[in-house]
Structure 1
Amino acid sequence: MDDHTKIGWRAHLCLGLLLIVYIFNFIDRQILSILAQPIKAELNLTDAQLGWLGGFAFALFYTLVGIPAALYANRIGRTKMIAAALMLWSAATAFCGLASSYAMLAIGRFGVGIGEAGGVAPAQSLISDLYPPQHRAKAMGVFSMGVPLGSGLGIMFGGLVAAAFDWRWAFIVIGLAGVIFAPVFFWGVKDGCERPVDTRRTARDALGAVIRNRSLWLISLGASLSSVIGYGLMFWLPSVFMRSFKATLMSASIGFGLIVLIGGVIGIAGGAWLADKLGAKSPRSFVFVPAVAYLLCIPAYALVLLDPDFGFSTGSGFALLLLAQALGLVWMGPVMASLHHVVAREDRALASAVFLFVTNVIGLGFGSWILGLISDYLSHNYAENALKMAVTWGLGFYVLGAACFLLASRTLAQDWKSGGD
């Protein structure tokens, strides 16, 4: 079957609706980063406590629920699972706005993690069904735009609402918006997008096939190690700008929001385009390109953080941060597409869930928390610049991630499959 018969308006509509869900996913996940300072002040929290809320409190249940949710999604229907997940995590986000203590805020973050566990893996599986192999990286790239769009909009929206009203209203408004969109998504996608998958395989057989895949584990480990600093930067950079560069809440939210949004869109689009172009000649390009991008991130971020001539508020500093943000997200389209090329069609949702389990346990679970701990440790020597130094030290995780991707390039060609029908 040729590409034109495979890709019609229904596929593009489904992809668009899935993108909106993913935007909500990252708005709800990342909005805490821009609200960290007013929350810290009102609830009297340490950086380590904030880092735990931004990472492990979310990642704990996200990872525990992700694999069972992916297996169950194939049985009840991936569309139903995504709609229910969106409803749950949005309600939990709104609950965060009602929190009057650290414990209540943690419970809300637990709920966000549980809900979001059922959203991404089934969505990626649907996209691989809708688009043929030679267009999958671009389709995954479009879906992955939800990361910079959601993160950027969440940072800007959260900062504006918190500055104008209160940090609690930012959680409540965005949470209720997701609850309202959930039924819209369900009715827009349920007809014509869901292709049945083989549910006769046992969970044990499916897990066995995925666990034995070498490339999947190297790819997952590479993304995980780089995500330690990737999620750490996403959570802590607004606070670095406010502490070390004396930015206001408003300027930090608008400036960093634009950096995440513009830089992320450019990086994801460029990475997806390069992967489909170079991947036609060699599957190794799907991991080699992100590895090079990771290594280029380090000097771009380090110049802004350590050289006084490249501050957050300068034009050159802003341009470098755009470049660094773009390079840091080049991996998303290529890596997710390659992940679905090395497993059978019926295992795609599970492979995505395993990938998300590893990346979120290591990257999201520990990224912001570790940097917060380092910041608390360095505070005696560096005062308000302790967090900036912690973030700078964390850039070394990009080297570890690149090394794993380069190792994966040696196994990818052998594990490469047709990518399914």
Structure 2
Amino acid sequence: MTDQTQPAHPGWKTHICLVLLLIVYVFNFVDRQILSILAQPIKAELNLSDAQLGWLGGFAFAFVYTLLGIPAAMIAQRVGRVRLITAALIVWSAATAACGLANSWITLALGRFGVGVGEAGGVAPSQSLISDLYPPAQRARAMAVFSLGVPLGSGLGIMFGGLLAATFDWRHAFVTIGLAGVVFAPLFFFGTRRHDGQTQTDTVPAVDRLRRLIRNRSLWLISLGASLSSVIGYGLMFWLPSVFMRSFKATLMSASFSFGLIVLIGGAVGILGGGFVADRLGAKSPRAFALVPAVAYLLCIPAYGLVLLMPGLAFDTAAGFALLILAQALGLVWMGPVIASLHHVVEPQDRALASALFLFVTNIIGLGFGSWTMGAISDYLSYNYAANALKMAVTGGLVFYALGAGCFLMTALTLKRDWKTAPISV
């Protein structure tokens, strides 16, 4: 199905498919982010440093995730996207369960490698399928709904992971959540397989398709902007629960419940709001798809900075909690407009591969360096700042939001030239 043949108003079966893809994405982020709330008990039992924990939350996952993402997108064109997503869900869920059996840093790293192997086949095919199902005028909102998997998965993973860890131990949390994904996999497959058509047959060899994407300036500016901001975005997602416990003396339960609510509420508001605003403003100019996230990033810096540095605005005060929700919302505004604009600047048959390239860049930089960088800086600062070293490392990392905003301001200059589909009024 191409942009020209998509219905202006997709039916309920299309929306059900989107919801099932969303649920898979929820599992994706539950399994990816659960380590953040379990970091402290794992650190104590396995005797790990912050840098080692950051490596497990970043490189151990990101290395294989990014390495296999592009081949997975090419395979999706041959075997079918729904089949690949189903297989990927089973693999990463089983690997998450296996993390609960780890008895050392090495065995836990192997489990995280397995999670990365599975998740490499999930996101890019899902985004490609959604772009086929929804017309251009509704694409940012559809991508925003799918991207709710980030706050829903992260928030639920943090809340339920913390609950299971506090009630039983961190091992039970990994096993229970991993097995839940395995059980859901056949339900997803039979609910979505009828939508597994491809956009159109492309006779261009894969290597040539890759070359034409590499020459796309907007694609690389979009990817770089998202990557730089993701360094701090992933760093905050991984380390903020630990900041609550170390600098604000929160318990595991209170940190998991508070941060889970912040991620759920703020993330949902930011992602849905960003998709809606970008679709409305983008009907007048494609530049809005880059300007909306740029402004949001710049507003993130004071919102997070006030809570981290002002003694009277701790996360457990009403004002601090509200500021963190606002900051979380602003930090995730980008997801709907950026992913939609990515699919607007490439040919329909290149969308899965473009998503894979985007994920390769954003995850190797953002996910790979985010949590590890903050952990390494925390270790370095620990001599002078003790329990507040991690808080200071995270605060300094807010500069990456400014760098990401600068990239999106440059992207706004190229989007109109590279746009493949004329803006459609809504």
- Please state which band the TM-score falls in when normalised by the shorter chain: over 0.9
Partner of 1:82: 85
Q: 1:404 aligns with which of 392, 407, 426?
A: 407
Query: How many angstroms apart in 1 are the aligned matches of 2:48 and 2:218?
Result: 41
Task: Encode CA deviations 1:247-287: one digit per residue, 9 max, x unaligned.
Answer: 00000000000000000000001100100000000100001
Is the counterpart of residue 377 in structure 1 residue 380 in structure 2?
Answer: yes
Query: How many angstroms apart in 2 are the aligned matches of 1:134 and 1:164?
Result: 47
**Secondary structure at 1:309's aligned position in 2?**
helix
Q: 1:3: Cα distance to partner?
A: 6.9
Is the counterpart of residue 91 in structure 1 residue 94 in structure 2?
Answer: yes
Partner of 1:49: 52
**Secondary structure at 2:48's aligned position in 1?**
coil
Partner of 1:9: 12
Q: Cα 1:222–1:265, aligned 2, differ >3 Å: closer, same or farther?
A: same
Cα-Cα RMSD: 1.4
Q: 1:419: Cα distance to partner?
A: 7.6
Please give the TM-score of this superposition, normalised by the length of structure 2. Answer: 0.97
**Secondary structure at 2:322's aligned position in 1?**
helix
Aligned AA for 1:289?
A: V
Is the counterpart of residue 333 in structure 1 residue 312 in structure 2?
Answer: no
Matches within 5 A, 1:19-418: 19-195=22-198, 197-418=200-421
Q: 1:10: Cα distance to partner?
A: 1.6
Q: 1:192: Cα distance to partner?
A: 3.6
**Secondary structure at 2:249's aligned position in 1?**
coil
Q: 1:201: Cα distance to partner?
A: 2.1
Q: 1:329: Cα distance to partner?
A: 0.1
Query: How many angstroms apart in 2 are the aligned matches of 1:204 and 1:51?
Result: 35
Q: 1:309: Cα distance to partner?
A: 1.0
Task: Encode CA deviations 1:172-207: one digit per residue, 9 max, x unaligned.
Answer: 011001011111111110014533532432111110
Query: How many angstroms apart in 1 are the aligned matches of 2:17 and 2:407?
Result: 33
Percent of pairs with identical residues: 73
Does structure 1 retain, via aligned residues, the 8 Å contact 2:274–2:292? yes
Does structure 1 retain, via aligned residues, the 8 Å contact 2:81–2:196? no
Task: Encode CA deviations 1:78-122: one digit per residue, 9 max, x unaligned.
Answer: 111100000000000000001011111000000000100000000
Q: Cα 1:15–1:420, aligned 2, differ >3 Å: closer, same or farther?
A: farther
**Secondary structure at 2:276's aligned position in 1?**
helix
Q: 1:5: Cα distance to partner?
A: 5.7
Task: Encode CA deviations 1:384-406: one digit per residue, 9 max, x unaligned.
Answer: 00000000000000010000000
Task: Encode CA deviations 1:139-186: one digit per residue, 9 max, x unaligned.
Answer: 000000000000000000000000000000110011001011111111
Query: How many angstroms apart in 1 are the aligned matches of 2:283 and 2:223?
Result: 22
Aligned AA for 1:200?
A: T
Partner of 2:21: 18
Query: How many angstroms apart in 2 are the aligned matches of 1:31 and 1:113?
Result: 14
Query: How many angstroms apart in 2 are the aligned matches of 1:143 and 1:99?
Result: 32
Query: How many angstroms apart in 1 are the aligned matches of 2:21 and 2:278?
Result: 22
**Secondary structure at 1:246's aligned position in 2?**
coil
Q: 1:6: Cα distance to partner?
A: 5.2
Query: How many angstroms apart in 2 are the aligned matches of 1:372 and 1:326?
Result: 24
Does structure 1 retain, via aligned residues, the 8 Å contact 2:199–2:348? no
Query: How many angstroms apart in 2 are the aligned matches of 1:90 and 1:342?
Result: 33
Q: 1:61: Cα distance to partner?
A: 0.1
Does structure 2 retain, via aligned residues, the 8 Å contact 1:221–1:358? yes
Aligned length, in residue pairs:
421
Does structure 1 retain, via aligned residues, the 8 Å contact 2:132–2:199? no
Runs of 4+ in 1 over 6 A off after TM superposition: none
Does structure 1 retain, via aligned residues, the 8 Å contact 2:285–2:423? no
Task: Encode CA deviations 1:18-52: one digit per residue, 9 max, x unaligned.
Answer: 00000000000000000000000000000000000
Does structure 1 retain, via aligned residues, the 8 Å contact 2:8–2:135? no
Query: How many angstroms apart in 2 are the aligned matches of 1:60 and 1:419?
Result: 37
Q: Which runs of 5+ in 2 are unaligned?
A: none
**Secondary structure at 1:367's aligned position in 2?**
helix
Query: How many angstroms apart in 1 are the aligned matches of 2:250 and 2:221?
Result: 39
Does structure 2 retain, via aligned residues, the 8 Å contact 1:156–1:254? yes
Q: Which runs of 5+ in 1 are unaligned?
A: none
